[in-house]
Each structure stands twice: as C-alpha cells, then as structure tokens.
Amino acid sequence: MKEIVIWPVYIDRERSRREGRQVPEDLGVKNPKLEKIYRTLKKMGYSPEIVRDKCHPRRHWEPSGYIKVKVEEGTSKLQLL
C-alpha cells in the first residue's frame, strides 16, 4: 500500500491549476473542508487521517491542513480525487 496526501486546494473549483487545483474545474467543489473530505473517504472504505495546521506550499501563509490516506499500489492520486 502507498500513502497519498490530499490538500483541499486539489479539489477547490475556486482555485486555478497554478494555485494547486488538480481536478477539472467542473469536478471541483466550492470551498472544500477537511472534515467533509474525511467523511467522504470513510464512506468510500478508506482509512483517512487528518493532519491539521499545515500549509500547502503554494499558499504557505494559509493553514489548511491535509488528509493522508492509504491506497492500493497502482491507484493514482488523480484517480482517488
């Protein structure tokens, strides 16, 4: 198994690709929250872990936290998102 890190900015439709969004804008979520991402991953059968008070490198002044989740080898971050 491998571990994937998910920052909320990865799915934030209000952010540009340059700001860190990784999914297409139409698949993004407006103002994603760690708890909502956590609950969604739990419903999908994963065992996520919230890491709070960390800043995404491109927004180092804005603490947002991230989620660590273990996935099967061969699963990409984009597939998970």
6 half-sphere exposure, CB direction, 13 A CA radius: 28
Cβ-based neighbour number of residue 58 at 10 Å: 12
Beta bridge partners of residue 55, listed in sequence order: 63
pTM confidence score: 0.89
| pLDDT, tens only, 28-61 | 999 999 999 999 999 999 999 999 989 988 888 8
Q: Express as a percent the part of the chain with pLDDT over 90.
A: 72
